[in-house]
Amino acid sequence: MKRMRSFRIGRLFGIPIELDLTFLVVLPLFAYLIGSSLGEYGRLLNEWLGPAAAVDVSALTGDTTLAFAVGSLAAIGLFTGVVLHELGHSLVAMRFGFPISSITLWLFGGVAQLTEMPEDWKQELYIAIAGPVVSVALGVISYAAFSVVAPVGGTAVAVVRFLLAYLAVMNVALAAFNMLPGFPMDGGRVLRALLARTRPYAQATQYAAEVGKLFAILLGLFGLFGGGGLFLVAIAFFIYIGASSEAQRTTMAAAFEGVAVSDIMTPRDDVRTVTIDTSIAELFSRMLSERHTGYPVVEGGRVVGVVTLDDAQSVREVERDAYTVGEVMSDQLHAVAPDADAMDALEQMQESGVGRLLVMDGENLVGLISRTDLMTALDIIKQRGALDAAGGERPTSVEQPN
């Protein structure tokens, strides 16, 4: 899926911090929800933190403007905690040499985008545990600060004490929530890392994914029938999907082991191309007869762009004779080297939201690889694996390098 719904708000330790559009709905919603139930939160905090550590509920309620301001501060504090949690993962990952492309805040909190996943169980364990460790530390610091601020004085003190108490509880809750044993929660990764101590990585992933799915089903049932509410069902759904896709990703990585882009690409001689002068009408008829949805655009033997069905559709039907490929194509070239791993090509397509990559050897186009090519190859490799397991003859149609 193409992720262009986010924008950048700044950098921390060189990592871009981005806000997803869904987050812009969540922040005011949280501010409102917290602000409109300050009394209730205050009473709960007093219950959890003990009667000695009283939050002055009466000073916070009554004034709507104040309530919403406190709600906003609490929401911002909460999401700052989420960013720091992700930063915890990121800094440990960077120490192990894994670059982080961004930290994004979205509907369900934060995501640190690792460009690749460590397969060493110790590294994965440390990276996964770092986030919850940061959250617990934030909770402890907030609680320490809360204990230091004396419960005397006016509204300002009451507000500060409420915020600190709220952040103390919420950061610890955030750590606990993230330790739920399912992908993509940190608990799922911790579980996989521990399972991978004595097993191959792919098998550990399968087991961890099964645990995650089972857990998601239980959580969903509890949400539906145990009074946990729809939010819990949504979380359960999210964990289930996460477990499935993580298991799928690892299975694919295992299947594509040792398969290079050049093994499955369409070689240069068979790649159909268009020129910048090709009309959109002609492009459509080519797409229809050749059943391709994207073409490299070649000019003077050089690739100058890529044109896809989406680009062509941007031209209104009556104007398709007048417009040419050159006017709608994308000149951003998504390319991969012929000796790159097939799995890397797939991940690159997913990251950049494109359906095909140019296979370039330096400046030269040597082939084209599409998502369909990869999926077809995957099916064949899996079938071959099944044949192997059944003692069948191994077909030699897919050549292995080395």
* Amino acid letter, residue 26: V
Q: Going edge to edge, which strands form the sheet with 6-12?
A: 6-12, 15-20, 100-106, 109-114
Give least dist CB 80 to Zn ion, A.
Answer: 15
Find the binding residues for Zn ion in span 129-188 (CB under 5 A): 131, 178, 186
- Cβ closest to Zn ion, residue 103 vs residue 264: 103
Min separation Cβ 222 and Zn ion, Å: 22
How many of the chain's residues bind Zn ion (CB under 5 A)? 3
- Of 218, 264, 265, the C-alpha closest to 239 is 218
Residue with tokens 């077809």: 376
On the 0-12 / 13-18 / 19+ scale of CB atoms within 10 A, 147 is middle
Q: Which two tokens stand for residue 170?
A: 């919420």
206 counts as binding Zn ion under rule CB under 5 A? no
Task: Answer whether 333's CB lies under 8 Å from 303's CB.
Answer: yes
Residue 111 or 337: the one with the smaller Cβ distance to Zn ion is: 111
> For Zn ion, which is the closer residue by CB, 171 or 178?
178
Which residue's Cβ lies closest to Zn ion? 131
Residue 85 or 161 with smaller CB distance to Zn ion:
85
Bridge partners for 298 per DSSP? 303
Per the listing, tokens 């084209």 go with: 368
Compute the least distance from the CB of residue 91 to Zn ion, in Å. 13
Smallest separation (angstroms) from Zn ion to the CB of 386: 37
Structure tokens at 72: 């906003």
CB of 168 to Zn ion, least distance (A): 19
- By beta-carbon proximity to Zn ion, the closer residue of 19 and 271 is 19
Part in contact with Zn ion (CB under 5 A); list of ranges 97-105, 124-132, 164-172, 230-238: 124-132
Three-state SS for 62? coil
Residue closer to Zn ion (CB basis): 142 or 178: 178
- Angstrom distances, CA of residue 385 to CA of 164, 381, 391, 394: 57, 6, 10, 9
Calculated CA dihedral for residues 189, 191, 197, 198, nearest 10 degrees: -130
Closest distance of CB 186 from Zn ion, Å: 4
CB of 182 to Zn ion, least distance (A): 13
184/367 with CB nearer Zn ion: 184
Least distance in Å: CB of 127 to Zn ion? 9
Q: What CA–CA distances, in Å, run from 228 to 168, 232, 264, 329, 397?
A: 23, 6, 48, 50, 53
Shorter beta-carbon distance to Zn ion: residue 81 or 131: 131
Summarize as ranges the residues that interact with Zn ion (CB under 5 A): 131, 178, 186
